[in-house]
A and B are shown apart, each in its own frame.
Chain A
Amino acid sequence: METVKFSKAVYALQAIKKAAYKFIDKISVNIRDEGENYLVDLIFSKEISPEAKIFILSEFSKEVLDQDLRESIKTETEAYRNLILAHVFSKTPLVTDE
């Protein structure tokens, strides 16, 4: 098992969960709240090689960052995104005049 620390001030919990979910086929994960940080225990299967372990750890961290950014950017750009998509569908029968 390896434990990774993520500062609460920097990373959203949702992002950590989403990243953990993506690795569900390779590892099981336990997320703990400890003061200013989230602690994530990554539990590997016994047969895993050291190289594979390192690879998964680095991929996991990347994934947390990715998911975190996706979430914040998605929220920030929601209004613009909805406007454009509404414009795209504006002449189809899917958008009704309400």
Chain B
Amino acid sequence: MSKFQPIAFYAKPTENSYSLLPFKFSRFTNNRILLTNMVGEYFLLEEDKFQKFVSKKLGTNESSYIDLRSKHFLKDSSNEVAIDLLALKLRTKLSRLSDFTALHIFVVSLRCEHSCPYCQVSRQSEDKQKFDMSEEIAHKAVELVFRSPSPTIKIEFQGGEPLLNFELIKYIVVRAKQINENERRNLDFVIATNLAVVTDEILQFCSENKVHISTSLDGPKELHNKNRPRKGGDSYERAISGIKFARDVLGKDQVSALMTTTEASLSKVKDIIDEYIENDFDGIFLRHLSPYGFAIKTKSYASYSTEKWLDFYKKGLEYIIEINRNGLFFQEFYASTLLKKILTSEETGFVDLMNPAGIGIAAVVYNYDGSVHPSDESRMLAEMGDDKFKLGSVLTNTYEEIFGSEALLNPLEESFSSSNPMCTDCTYELYCGADPVYHYALHNDFVGRKPESSFCNRNMSIIDYLINRMEDDPFVKKLFYKWANR
């Protein structure tokens, strides 16, 4: 019937009639160019088509033209609405930033009955006066917590071993809940504990007050106990029985575990993952090697360790993908965090991968002595003698003085990725983050030189890997969609 127009009637056929929307690009595998648009949506294009695209010579009938248009890399007269959609997506991505600090870490004691070599902060000591947070400090800190505008507040107890000062944990939980009766935020509590000294009384309190547990499980018994020595050499046994105990009382979903990666872990990634599966966890966070401690000033940490760690990570990720292919849903949480940034407009609130940097904005630490730091790593730096990021004290400074401190604002401004060489042009900028604490610790500068930065190297390598796997393997793509949306 001729009263219907053909598709050509609706296409805009002339060359040079489209404009480029903002995007970044880099070379990728197999002669392809990887593009990311203004909100971080990626697209792969053959190099010759890319050349045509940027010289405005790409034909409007070509499938790559159609894809580039619908994915918001170009604009012509048929998709005016692209601008509205990009604006909406960008606002969505940025919207949580103004909620400000959601994670409030309370270091209730530096005392610990473990003596893990990689730990920079704990003290083998019975001296509660010296190393425990006082009620006065806790009281002031809790008040500061609620000065944050965030509708969601998560209070995390750390140490040393926080359960050694359980009385104060109780005090803080009760006080926070009291204040929250008026404030009406979504209030959550979690204790980061090795569970070695957990008791029934402690778990009952947690159950009644909906406090979650996050514990340490570095891998199978030998590895875990080697990483985490304590008197009696039974850290692993106590962790496992503690997990069971906590799950029984609190519920399986209220207990999670984190690993620390050490040199000794690097050859054992499958064993570590198997340990998590055997203990019924539904995922694992394969963490990077912590640079803090004696490794910090040695440049050699950077190159040698990064390569070995990437090898560890990729082996682990492949193993996990196989596990999923064989029918068990199991996640890797660092990949999942990156995938959420790659595949959705949601923000993760993950401190290390935020721009502006997550220090202060996403997290804040109230130390046992009342000092305030904008992240856990910066607290560690302070314990090692460097006060660069110290924001003030709950005892002597106001909220405005602490969060308006130059010690916070300077690194935030200087490390802003869009203002830094290489980051500003990086295809992966929206997937990555600014980490001024890391760069200051290793390179003595909030920014560092990215080609020398193991933070940059590591993230670029992983993101490359994730995109390659997704594009090569439809099963992996489907799996990654699920991980991104958890």
Contacts and interface: CB of A to CB of B under 8 A. Distances in A.
A70 B447 contact: yes
B399 A93 contact: yes
A90 to B, nearest CB: 5
B419 A77 contact: yes
B100 A74 contact: no
Contacts of B403: 92, 94
B424 A85 contact: no
Interface residues of A, number: 20
Given A73-B419, A73-B420, A84 B356 contact: yes
Contacts of A74: 419
Q: DSSP majority for the A interface?
A: helix
B322 interface: no
Nearest to A69: B421
A66 B399 CA distance: 36
Interface string A5-34: 000000000000000000000000000000
A1 B419 CA distance: 35
Contact of B99 (A69, A73, A78, A91): A91
Interface residues of B, number: 24
B34 interface: no
Nearest to A86: B98
B413 A81 contact: yes
- In this complex, which of B99, B418, B421 has the most chain A Cβ atoms within 10 angstroms of its Cβ? B421
A93 B100 contact: no
B198 interface: no
B418 A81 contact: yes
B279 to A, nearest CB: 39
B361 interface: yes
Interface string B296-319: 000000000000000000000000
B98 A70 contact: no
Nearest to B148: A92
A84 B361 CA distance: 12
A90 B418 CA distance: 20
B149 A92 contact: yes
Contacts of B420: 70, 73
Interface string B391-431: 00000000110011000000011001011110010000000
B449 interface: yes
Contacts of B149: 91-92
Given A81-B416, A89-B98, A91-B100, 9 more contacts: A62-B449, A70-B421, A70-B447, A73-B424, A74-B419, A77-B418, A80-B418, A81-B413, A85-B412
Interface of A: 62, 66, 69-70, 73-74, 77-78, 80-81, 84-85, 87-94
16 contacts: A66-B421, A66-B449, A73-B419, A77-B424, A81-B413, A81-B419, A84-B416, A85-B412, A87-B97, A88-B356, A89-B98, A90-B98, A92-B148, A93-B400, A94-B400, A94-B404
Interface of B: 94, 97-100, 147-149, 356, 361, 399-400, 403-404, 412-413, 416, 418-421, 424, 447, 449
